Amino acid sequence: MEHKKESIIHIGFDDTDSLNGGCTTYLALAIIKNISNRCKFLDYPRLIRNNPNIPWKTRGNGSIGITIETERENIEFIKQEILKQIEKHHQKDENTNPGIVLIEGDIPKKVQEFAIQALVKNISIKEAEKLAEKFCLFYHSIGNGRGLIGGLAAVGNQLEPKKEDFTFELIAYRTEEFIGTKRKISEKSVYKMDQLLAPNVFNNIDSETNKVLIYPAGKDPVLFGLRGETPSVVLEAFSLVETEEPIDGYCIFRTNQGTDQHFKFADSLAENYGVFKGKIEVIEKPITIHGGHVFFKGQICDSGKEVDVAAFEPSKSFKKIINQLLSEDILMAYGGVKFKKEFKKHSIHLEKCELIFLSQHYIEEAPFCPQCSKRMTSDGYQKGYKCKKCGYKDKAMIKTQKVIERNLEKKLIIPPEQAQRHLVKPFRRYDMQMKTGFEMIEEWWKEYSKV
Ligand code: ATP
């Protein structure tokens, strides 16, 4: 049988960095640069954020998928080039376990399903290895092989227009001599850019504190990232942001950031490290613990299971609202699950929630005097009430009930931008239409020096 000359190859990789340095997206740009003369890119590199609750992540649990068309005779070259770049760029320490996968042609359904699971569950390395063995043209792992999970997930999660929501991020990189130094970016230019391009750019500025959010603090090569609805709007944003240091290069990624994609596939089972979505009834009034975190005891409406529900300190105004909940209130909760050994209980860390039922609570008070309207006092056990002002007494009088006024509304609440996880959909995106496609713009990546 004669093989077709052209072939579609899906490349996925993950776990190449650690807190000591490196960045998987930077590796993506190095790979793109080095294979670009041997293939056509059919999509932007996809920056897929997977389950944010797994304990092995470095930061945002991101993995990369690249889809190319190439002549079959180039596949070996491309494979070798990817391995070379991984070897060159990956952080060599015990917490870094790179994995890379290559899948040819249509993406098997099982890989697509695996990608959904990777968004919401804790997956074993074994499961990923079995899948890679069965469906990959080639796969390779270093260390314990954990990177295969994210690699397969990035290939399987295609963010298909009309079916899945997606956004774009332009990431600009630093030149080597600046890595590790303070990033000098004109905040004024970021405010101006946001004003000009909103609502088509998002999460540039924290709406509560006005803090600029486009740059990280770590030792990695990222100078800043600009998030938006289209490739051209993030490129325009790039032209507006002013920096005091040279830029090494940039790349536009298509991503599931800001889409709530994990909540789309979440459930109310409350499994350890899983993503939770479900109604919870408040059992006990919230308390604030050391560090300013707010906790309350709740019950999952679907199962009756008792859980602790937490809103963390950086969520500021969000946490303040949660602190005002009372027993019997019901919320639609969205968040991550952790099993707390010391309490033998699961706790749900809220990423957003909708208040759907606010219960009525009363305080009991002494009645007012029917003659002079003064508040009465008790006349002793089972003796009713007396009025100290006019002397009126009534044995039959009992306490009155007053409804406690709730300063809460039934509505959706989301922590401010700086406390949001990458996948969480910010308010600014709520009116956006589902995208029906995307255009490959010419200048979607660029390198100015050696990447
Ligand atoms: P960065 O954001 O800086 O790229 P990161 O937060 O993505 O780093 P990694 O260093 O990539 O962190 O580590 C995450 C690891 O967890 C990867 O090996 C990835 O394959 C694996 N992983 C991803 N999703 C899951 C999941 N659902 N279950 C178990 N492991 C997962």
pLDDT confidence of residue 58: 78
pLDDT confidence of residue 64: 96
- Sign of the CA dihedral with 405 first, then 410, 416, and 422 last: positive
pLDDT confidence of residue 425: 98
Closest ligand 1 atom to residue 96 Cα is 10
How far is Cα 26 from Cα 389, in angstroms, rounded to an integer? Answer: 80
Any ligand 1 atom below 6 A from CB of 142? no
pLDDT band at 450 (very low <50, low <70, confident <90, very high): low
Asked which of 53-57, 260-264, 354-358, 433-437 is least confident by mean pLDDT, the reply is 53-57
In angstroms and rounded to an integer, the radius of gyration of the C-alpha atoms of the chain is 27
Q: Are strands 6-14 and 99-104 parallel, antiparallel or unpaired?
A: antiparallel
Closest ligand 1 atom to residue 121 Cα is 27
How far is Cα 77 from Cα 234, in angstroms, rounded to an integer? Answer: 32
Q: With 60 as the cut, is the pLDDT of residue 1 above it?
A: no
The answer to whether the CB of 211 falls within 8 A of the CB of 203 is no
Nearest CA to ligand 1 atom 1: 59
The answer to whether the CB of 226 falls within 8 A of the CB of 241 is yes
pLDDT in tens, 5-48: 899 999 999 988 765 556 889 999 999 999 999 999 999 999 99
The one-letter amino acid at 30: A
Phi, psi (5° rounding) for residue 39? -155, 170
The answer to whether the CB of 90 falls within 8 A of the CB of 24 is no
Any ligand 1 atom below 6 A from CB of 123? yes
Rounded alpha-carbon distances, angstroms, from residue 235 to 65, 184, 224, 378:
21, 20, 13, 73
pLDDT in tens, 280-307: 999 999 999 988 899 999 999 999 999 9
CA of 14 to the centre of ligand 1 (A): 7
- Mean pLDDT score, 397-416: 94
pLDDT confidence of residue 3: 57
How far is Cα 315 from Cα 414, in angstroms, rounded to an integer? Answer: 9
Any ligand 1 atom below 6 A from CB of 47? no
Report the SS3 class of residue 210: coil
pLDDT confidence of residue 373: 94
Nearest CA to ligand 1 atom 13: 57
How far is Cα 421 from Cα 258, in angstroms, rounded to an integer? Answer: 8
Class for domain 6-158, per CATH?
alpha beta
Phi, psi (5° rounding) for residue 32? -55, -45
Nearest CA to ligand 1 atom 11: 15
- Mean pLDDT score, 406-428: 96
Any ligand 1 atom below 6 A from CB of 149? yes
Q: Which CATH architecture has domain 267-360+405-422?
A: Beta Barrel (2.40)
Any ligand 1 atom below 6 A from CB of 146? yes
The encoded tokens of residue 267 equal 């459930």
Closest ligand 1 atom to residue 150 Cα is 20
How far is Cα 261 from Cα 278, in angstroms, rounded to an integer? Answer: 15
Nearest CA to ligand 1 atom 25: 118
pLDDT band at 451 (very low <50, low <70, confident <90, very high): very low
Any ligand 1 atom below 6 A from CB of 200? no
Same fold, 167-259 and 267-360+405-422: no
Any ligand 1 atom below 6 A from CB of 14? yes
Q: What is the CATH number of domain 167-259?
A: 3.90.600.20
Closest ligand 1 atom to residue 97 Cα is 18
- Mean pLDDT score, 268-282: 98
Report the SS3 class of residue 315: helix
Give residue limits of the domains in the chain: 6-158, 167-259, 267-360+405-422, 362-403
Q: With 70 as the cut, is the pLDDT of residue 263 above it?
A: yes
pLDDT confidence of residue 136: 97
Mean pLDDT of the chain: 94
- Sign of the CA dihedral with 267 first, then 268, 269, and 272 last: positive
